[in-house]
Amino acid sequence: MKIAYTLNIMKERIPFGRPFIDAEEEHAVVRVLRSGWLTTGTETLCFEQEFAAFLDAGNDGIQQPLRALAVNSATSGLHLALEAAGVGPGDVVLVPSYTFAATAEVARHLGAELAFVDVSPGSFLMDIAQLEVTIDRLSAGKTAYVNGGPCGVPRAVIPVHFAGLSCDMDAIMDKAARSNLTVVEDAAHALPAPYSGGGFAGTKAHIGVFSFYATKPLTTGEGGMIVSRDENLLRRMTTMRLHGIDRPIWNRYTGDNASWYYEVIEAGYKYNMPDVLAALGRVQLKRIEILWSMRKGIAARYDEAFSADERFIIPPTDSSDARHLYPLRLGPACPISRDECIRRLQEQYCIGTSVHFIPLHTMPFYTKRYGIKEDDLPETMRSFKAEISLPLCPGMTDSHIKYVIEAVCNVCR
């Protein structure tokens, strides 16, 4: 029977996101499919080692070596990270409201509460002064906000490197050390994003978590990676990643000293990455710097086109120029709203765009739970209302870029 596979999910002429996949990825996946071993195995182990080595290049030996644990999503990675940090009921985890649901929901999975921190003006990144105020209020037994919100023991903070822009990790680590907090970097957007003082985003905190979701700088379709230098945290996350089993069991049928025996020492999760996806990730990792420079090139063209036009506010950059997204903001001189701009780009030009992010404190679940008002986080709201993420896919040609620029200028009249 012939099945009509005429699904064209890329209806847009220029999609918002499209992974850069070629024959090398195809060969790597086919090689694993033909190997007879599809789930976690040697491909995943190699991917972990290569990923850690890439991020740890330049480690002068003073620091513990970085280790990586592959998982089936960044969400799982964030969950394992907070679990290993001992987060639980009575605790509060501090996150920006300007992030994806995953950053926050994992704290609720463990019974902890969330305190949302505003972004600093125009930066899209967590405001460090506000973070300090919120930690100090919670530590003093008060609610997170003057008008209410959660209360409890501040236990962990998850800074988000939005669009690849890195947060000031030195300042965050300093405050966290003084307040005894665990820090988990949400580096879902940050691969690779070098800090100005050396090292890569994701490697300064106790734990860093990367996403390999379909639109991310490195993709395995779905997937993620945890990195850490802390042996205790790594041991706990390794155990909890696979059913709370006390030892690596993936080669229990095939290894030299194979044994069927294992013990469950905790009620763990099923968060491992299969070899099919790890094979894809290894190829993507080899070309990560090329993909990074392609994104930089596209963003530079957008910057050039929009920077002198008072209808638009171009995104901030930092020394990493990581550019996972291109979060353009519409300025007061723009005659149409952000929503109208998105609609016209789609309808008139078939250009896919997105919005990063709908603030979490405006989501019904959190609004109801904490009674936070939109205006409690004014900078978050200001950025959200003006933001439109333009297509930024490696592989976009010169004429694609021109087409997007012309379309944005035309619809914003």
Ligand X SMILES: Cc1ncc(COP(=O)(O)O)c(C=O)c1O
Is 79 or 282 the residue whose CB approaches ligand X more closely? 79
Q: At closest approach, how far in Å is the CB of 108 from ligand X?
A: 15
- Cis peptide bond N-terminal to 357, omega within 30: yes
Q: How far is the CB of 341 from ligand X (least distance, A)?
A: 22
Measured from the CB atom, the residue of 137 and 164 that comes closer to ligand X is: 164
Judged by CB, which is closer to ligand X: 183, or 411?
183
DSSP 239-282: HHHBTTBSS--TTTTTSTT--S---B-S---B-BPPHHHHHHHH
CA distance 100 to 112: 18
- CB 125 to ligand X: min, Å: 12
The binding site for ligand X (CB under 6 A) comprises: 73-75, 99-100, 102-103, 160, 186, 188-189, 211, 213, 224
Task: Select 43 or 186, whichever has its Cβ closest to ligand X.
Answer: 186
Catalytic residue (choose from 2, 142, 175, 216): 216
Within its chain, how far is the Cα of 131 from the centroid? 20
Q: Enumerate residues 6+ apart whose C-beta is below 8 A from 392.
A: 17, 295, 298, 299, 302, 323, 324, 325, 326
Does residue 192 have a cis peptide bond before it, meaning omega lies within 30 degrees of 0? yes
For residue 412, give the 3-state DSSP assignment: coil
Min dist. Cβ of residue 162 to ligand X (A): 7
In whole angstroms, what is the distance from residue 372 CA to residue 376 CA?
Answer: 7
Task: Provide, rounded to whole angstroms, the least separation between the CB of residue 119 and ligand X.
Answer: 13
Spatial neighbors of 371 by CB under 8 A, at least 6 apart, are: 147, 148, 149
142 is annotated as an active-site residue: no
**40 vs 99 by CB, closer to ligand X:** 99
174 Cβ neighbours under 8 A, 6+ residues apart: none
| Catalytic site positions | 216
